[in-house]
Amino acid sequence: MSPTIHDVARAAGVSIKTVSNVLNDSPKVGSATRSRVRRIIDELGYRPNLSARGLRSGKTGVIGLTVPSLRENYFAELADAVIREAAKRGLRVLIEQTNGERKLELEALSGGQIRFIDGMLFSPAELGQDDVGLLPAGGPLVLLGERIFDGPTDHVTMHNTSSARAAVEHLLHTGRSRIALVGALDSSGDAASSASLRERGYHQALAGAGISSDPALVVRGGSWGRETGAAAIADLCRRGAAFDAVFAMNDTLALGALRRLAEEGLSVPRDVAVIGFDNIDEGRYSLPSLTSVDPGREEIAETAVRLLVERIGEKEEPLAPRTVKAGFRIVHRESTGFGGSEVRDDGH
């Protein structure tokens, strides 16, 4: 028989109301009690009856997560983190992907799954700053990413520029000076995109070291997949560009670059050091293992779910929109010469 809320309350030595308050993230519960109740919930494997709770509260017990594509490792791992954080609060997650299409992003905001959920975590790829007026003011919506700032909703994002700068500075500290950039947008690219913000960090790091940016080392165009990373290295080698390091805008680009470097007979990190971005699980098992920027994915998931739960439970005057940037760190691995062990540099 599945454990009930009565079982949780009995095992934790608290009232049923206290367990309910913990599940609803109420501030009325002290931190020690909250931790004890959550531990008991995990140990017993308790899951709330969402249908019954919905009838009592008018809530479904379901939140939404809308992302561009689950084929991208970062979003797949973000979804996993969000599901785990939501489960701690007795919530389930309905996931929708927009394939980076503006039409589908607009539908996600105005229809579709939003009718069946209590609130949404939304990561747009096409909607931008000019669309800020389309976001529902004060509603149970938390914006993810860097496409829209200063909107009417809570916003959780990452330090794209400063973390990219730290990645390039890491390569500079290992003695590299001819650093190729893989994954940059073409000249007509969106200035608010992850690619543009990370490229800004790349140029800042070089300038800070007194090194002029070489346009020949900035490879533009293509999707952020392995094939683009491999093609970028092939292009650099075909043109005879001299480079001793690669900063790839994400880890899948970096993994493609690693493959092509091996095919070109270049040793990593002896000939070329490589750093990626996102710290996806696959990078731990590549050969060599991949040094990467950890942009705070777990913190992003935890913070976003917490803010959304607070919005869903709002009864008094709504809080002003909140913006949170997760901390980042560089995870040192073999591709930049750090052996088999992981070393983490805290970011900002």
Q: What is the CATH number of the domain that holds 146?
A: 3.40.50.2300
The reply to whether 13 falls in a domain is no
106 and 149, same domain (yes or no)? yes
Q: Quick one: pLDDT at residue 7?
A: 85
Question: In this structure, are 88 and 62 located in the same domain?
Answer: yes
Q: Are 65 and 82 in contact (CB under 8 A)?
A: yes
Position 122 confidence tier, pLDDT thresholds 50, 70, 90 = very high
pLDDT score for 16:
83
Asked if the structure places residue 45 within a domain, the reply is: no
Whole-model pTM over 0.95: no
Strands laid side by side in the 329-332 sheet: 218-220, 179-184, 245-248, 273-277, 291-294, 329-332, 343-346
139: its two tokens: 């509603």
| The pLDDT value given to residue 51 | 45
Note the pLDDT of residue 270: 97
If one counts the domains in the chain, the total is: 2
Residues 311 and 238 in one domain: no
30 domain residue, yes or no: no
Per residue in 140-163, pLDDT (tens digit) is 899 998 877 778 889 999 999 999
One domain, residues 200 and 342: yes
How confident is the model at residue 146, as a pLDDT?
82
Which residues span the domain enclosing 266? 160-290+333-346
Distance between CA atoms of residues 334 and 246, nearest Å: 14
More confident position, 38 or 333: 333
Lowest-confidence pick of 126-135, 203-212, 268-277: 126-135
| Segment 191-217, tens digit of pLDDT | 668 899 999 999 999 999 999 999 999
343-346 and 329-332: which strand pairing?
Answer: antiparallel
Bridge partners of residue 180, in order along the sequence: 246
Q: What is the pLDDT of residue 55?
A: 37
pLDDT in tens, 80-119: 999 999 999 889 999 999 998 999 998 888 765 666 789 9
Average pLDDT value over all residues in the chain: 88
Same domain, yes or no: 174 and 285: yes
Looking at the structure, do residues 303 and 273 belong to the same domain, yes or no?
no
| DSSP structure class, residue 275 | E
Alpha carbon 107 to its chain centroid, in Å, reads: 23
Indicate whether 339 and 241 sit together in one domain. yes
* Across 226-247, average pLDDT: 97
Q: Is residue 35 part of a domain?
A: no
Question: In terms of Cα–Cα distance, which of 93, 219, 74, 218 is closest to 158?
Answer: 74
- Cβ neighbours of residue 111 closer than 8 Å, sequence gap 6 or more: none
Same domain flag for 278 and 310: no
Four-CA torsion 274, 276, 280, 284, nearest 10 degrees: 10
Mean pLDDT of 1-23: 83
Q: Are residues 319 and 252 in the same domain?
A: no
Residues 267 and 302 in one domain: no
> In the numeric block, which tokens belong to residue 271?
């000939």
Cβ-contact 272, 263 below 8 angstroms: no
56-65, 142-151, 301-310: range with highest mean pLDDT:
301-310
Q: What percent of the chain has pLDDT over 70?
A: 88
pLDDT band at 342 (very low <50, low <70, confident <90, very high): low
Q: What is the mean pLDDT of residues 33-43?
A: 89
Identify each DSSP E strand in the chain by its residue range: 62-67, 92-97, 119-122, 141-144, 154-158, 179-184, 218-220, 245-248, 273-277, 291-294, 323-326, 329-332, 343-346
pLDDT at 52 over 50: no
145 in any annotated domain: yes
Residue 187 pLDDT level (bands cut at 50, 70, 90): low
Domain co-membership, 183 together with 207: yes
Q: Is 154 in the same domain as 166?
A: no
